[in-house]
Amino acid sequence: MKLDSYWTDSAPAFTPAVHALPAQVDVAIVGGGFTGLSAALALAKRGANVAVLEAGTRVAAEASGRNGGHVNNGLAVDYADVAAKVGIEKARAWYRAYDDAVDTVARLVRDEAIDCDFMRHGKLKLATRANQMGALERSAQRLLADGVDTDVEILDAARVRSEVQSERFHGGLLYKRSGQMHMGRFAQGLAEAAQRNGAQIHTGTMVNRIERVGQSHAHRLHTAGGTVTAQQVLLATGATRHGGYGSFGWLRRRIVPIGSFIVVTEPLGAERAQALLAARRTYTTVANIHHYFRLTPDHRLVFGGRARFSVSSPQADAASGEILRAGLAETFPQLGAVRLDYCWGGLVDMTQDRLPHAGERNGLYYAMGYSGHGTQMSVHMGERMAAVMNGDTRANPWQGRDWPSIPGHFGPPWFLPAVGLYYSLKDKLA
């Protein structure tokens, strides 16, 4: 197995135009993933002088390029649970923000002519146990009754088997608005669009420290290559482990970086792939430690999950690849000893409530905490925060939310193994 992301390995690398690091800009964006690139594009189109400062050597090479390739609508947590806590009106608005997010991706793909195999075939949430169907049915009924999502449908076991060649599943809940795309090619196209409209993108430029200038929104950003003074700053770092802890400590105490791991098979061939997943949707199973999968345009199977509760590293990725190999064999035994060409891990920026957080604190704007549902929301929130920074405070669908720190979390997530054991036990007892 190649310990690298299929998305970044099979896409052309974006080459930034050569610019000296600017001394002053209107907006500095820390992080060159989907949030940062989307914000850069939107701000540059409004005429702002924008610099994206990316610590890595390649844009969108962290969470944005190391995911399962899903562009799904629907909350990361059950809509009914959210509605019980915050009320139907707010829960409905948050749910629909994800519909808007998928629409935002679709519009950018169309308007910027990004060749990334974007398609909307829906997401099917699969029950691996018969008793899970009741919860899926209640979810569908509530979404329909509250007028939140009229494009959901319950599929029984026979209908699931007609499109998923596996005996494991007892039925599923279909979300028809969801999509998928090639993440590496989308990232390359989004970066090209931002640069084409005037944004500067500086890779290999880690921000070590951020210093506020007076009581304004202006800040000085200190990097190894020099200092940039920006009238506004957007933090779009996700669960990054780059940069000085002092400037990012407030955020890091509120985000737990959890590894999510993925393998990709050798090409299966068109006929074999079509027989395996006839509808070519995105798929996810009902469990705390779940699996998710889809096909690629070159007929590979992408199969991922929370194989281990740890952060990603070459050792953790390789060990997780073997765990996923076993899960793949259990789900699709007919594939036999299929070769796995790719295996990688990525960091999910998990929040305590598993919902995004975005806003402004001490003059710094931020958007992150997508909790495993970020490929669409990150793109959407880049645009939304660009509007906020341009004066439209109502543009942020997550505004006004409390974001308490996670008790006991001050640095590396030492508690992840215990969390893994807890969720494994919950799944076994469910």
The domain limits of the chain are 6-419
User: Where residue 423 falls among pLDDT bands split at 50, 70, 90?
Assistant: very low
* Greater pLDDT, 255 or 182: 182
> What is the mean pLDDT of the segment spanning 144-148?
96
Q: Which residue has the tokens 């050792």?
A: 315
Give the C-alpha separation, 314 to 295, whole Å: 25
- 189-208 per-position pLDDT tens digit: 999 999 999 999 999 999 99
Q: Give the fold, CATH level 3, of 6-419.
A: FAD/NAD(P)-binding domain (3.50.50)
Helix axes 88-111, 183-196, angle to 10 degrees: 70
Cβ-contact 79, 142 below 8 angstroms:
yes
In 3D, which of 191, 227, 228, 208 has the Cα closest to residue 32? 191
Q: What is the mean pLDDT of the chain?
A: 92
Six-digit token string for 181: 């795309």
Cα 66 from chain centre: 9
Whether the predicted pLDDT of 414 surpasses 90? no
Cβ-contact 189, 175 below 8 angstroms:
no
Q: How many CA atoms within 13 Å lie on the side-chain side of 231?
A: 8
> What is the mean pLDDT of the segment spanning 270-285?
98
Cβ-contact 229, 213 below 8 angstroms:
yes
Give the C-alpha separation, 3 to 314, whole Å: 7
Give the C-alpha separation, 297 to 121, whole Å: 13
Whether the predicted pLDDT of 247 surpasses 80? no
Residue 96: φ, ψ to 5°: -70, -20
- 324-348 per-position pLDDT tens digit: 999 999 999 999 999 999 999 988 8
pLDDT score for 410: 64
pLDDT score for 310: 63
User: Where residue 429 falls among pLDDT bands split at 50, 70, 90?
Assistant: low
Residue 110, Ramachandran bin (φ over 0: left; ψ between -120 and 50: alpha; else beta):
alpha
* C-alpha pair distances (Å), 174 with each of 57, 119, 303, 304: 38, 16, 19, 19
Six-digit token string for 80: 């009914």
User: Where residue 242 falls among pLDDT bands split at 50, 70, 90?
Assistant: low
> What is the mean pLDDT of the segment spanning 62-76?
95
pLDDT score for 288: 61
For residue 83, the SS3 value is helix
Q: How many CA atoms within 13 Å lie on the side-chain side of 237?
A: 31
Whether the predicted pLDDT of 409 surpasses 90? no
pLDDT score for 258: 82
In 3D, which of 331, 304, 330, 286 has the Cα closest to residue 128? 286
pLDDT score for 244: 52
pLDDT score for 17: 96
pLDDT score for 175: 98
Whether the predicted pLDDT of 47 surpasses 60? yes
* One-letter amino acid for residue 220 of the chain: R
Helix axes 34-45, 183-196, angle to 10 degrees: 30
Give the C-alpha separation, 369 to 46, whole Å: 26
Cα-atom radius of gyration of the chain, to the nearest Å?
Answer: 21
Cβ-contact 395, 387 below 8 angstroms:
yes
Give the C-alpha separation, 209 to 365, whole Å: 15
> What is the mean pLDDT of the segment spanning 360-385?
96
- Model confidence, pTM: 0.93
> What is the mean pLDDT of the segment spanning 12-39?
97
For the CA atoms of 370, 375, 377, 382, what is the dihedral angle to 10 degrees?
Answer: 100
